[in-house]
Amino acid sequence: MNNLLIIATLTLILVGCNPKPVQINYGEDHCAFCKMSIVDPKFGGALVTKKGRVFKFDAVECILPFVNENKDIYSHLLVTPYDLPGTLMAKDSVYFAKSEAIRSPMGAHLGVFHSKVTAREFITENDGEIVLWGELEKSLLP
């Protein structure tokens, strides 16, 4: 009986520690960095801390400086693909593209794409380049 009680307690603790799914409420939520309303479902992102706190952003351009100022606090970093509006995907599973055709909220002309194929198609049609997260950190941070 004691083993069952211990297992039940541990299960409740573990379930309570898992972060809940993150969703951006466009038109209601505000960017944790620039404080603007998050309105365009082609852009945005969220950072979930190791303690489960969620910070939402209106653009990758706001995520980068926030992460730079708050290193080592997050467990998940999610971004909204330009080609899948309103969804969030892990930053390590997407492709970033810069193109004058992308009108991102903070003016960096930066978009996220869910696959390398869609990113290449977009930049071929609209002139631009695929960039890596590390390159973004170097080019968009002071």
Q: What is the pTM of this model?
A: 0.81
85: Cβ contacts below 8 Å, ≥ 6 apart: 41, 42
Query: Is 131 within 8 Å of 112 (Cβ atoms)?
Result: no
Q: What percent of the chain has pLDDT over 70?
A: 83
119: Cβ contacts below 8 Å, ≥ 6 apart: 95, 96, 97, 113, 130
Mean of the pLDDT values across residues 80-108? 94
Domain boundaries defined on the chain:
22-140
Q: Which of 115, 114, 119, 121 is nearest to 130 (CA)?
A: 119
pLDDT at 99 over 90: yes
pLDDT at 5 over 60: no
Strand 74-79 relative to strand 54-57, pairing: unpaired
Could you read off the pLDDT of 17-57 as tens digits, one per residue? 455 568 999 999 999 999 999 999 999 999 999 889 999 99
pLDDT at 21: 64
Which is higher by pLDDT, 32 or 134? 32
